[in-house]
Amino acid sequence: HTAAMSELTEITSGLRFPEGPIAMPDGSVILVEMFGPRITRVRPDGSKETIADIVGGPNGAAIGPDGALYLCNNGGCFTPVDLGDLLLPGPFDPAVYIGGRIQRVDLATGEVADLYTECDGRPLRAPNDLVFDAHGGFWFTDHGIRDHVARTSDLTGIYYATADGSHISEQAFPVEAPNGIGLAPDGNTVYWAETQTGRVMRRTIASPGVLAAAIPLDTSTCMAGLPGYQLLDSLAVDGDGNVCVATLINGGVTVISPADGSMHHIATGDLLTTNICFGDSDGSGEYRDAYITCSGTGRLLHMRWPSPGLRLNYV
């Protein structure tokens, strides 16, 4: 079924491709503006303040165990394309690309520090999204770069790293343009969305930061594939374990059950709906505030989610 868009309310507009929303305990939402490029705090009344200006392309963001913000920086691998009322991520321009990296941002001072720029000697290309586990480390995706001039497309991976900068490892390779990433409520499964294939993939976590070996041609690693022309962006997992994945072209959020692969769609009216996160504004502990970034139209929306969300580690 499709939920009515009337359930959605706009918190703020005028954002330059918002992504990576984090619902903070004080009711504000911290997000990135990929084409700001900056990290912005949006207050419940819609007012905005800049936390930090970012060189490159800020993408997914998460709060770490030390209370700092951890950032996937795609290096500025997209150029902004304005199509009237719609802002799109355009082609790769090597002249503005600074290289992919994971960064730590001090929310109090706005200080930005590089944490990781490579893994096993290979440069990170375009880190996109990350999620912290209960052990203080984080899983992240490298979306890679599609270079139209060179006619190349990266093969990339799923990585695990620690917040202190001491360890990074590639845990899945190759994957196809991985974007959003999330963990099952029990922390034993990692999910990621592949933008171009329209698929949500999953792997079992054997121990902190280590994936269980995958059997070749194991169909269970693909949780769902969306039909037709639908591209996938970031995702969040709700309290029932459903994967709620922001869906491009068919603008909205697709809710997928890991149990049987059934899905339903909540439309937003923005072709470039990129992220969803859950908050708990009423203090009920149910995390039923859903904040959705509509990047094409530069808006942050809110709705009460039909089922409880899942609290993230460290927020």
What is the pTM for the complete model shown? 0.96
Confidence of residue 4 (pLDDT cuts 50, 70, 90): low
H-only helix segments in the chain: none
- pLDDT higher than threshold 50 for residue 181: yes
Confidence of residue 1 (pLDDT cuts 50, 70, 90): very low
pLDDT in tens, 209-238: 999 999 989 999 999 999 999 999 999 999
* Helix or strand (DSSP H, E) at 158: strand 156-162
What is residue 198's three-state secondary structure? Answer: coil
Task: Please give the backbone phi and psi of residue 38, each rounded to the nearest 5 degrees, phi first.
Answer: -165, 170
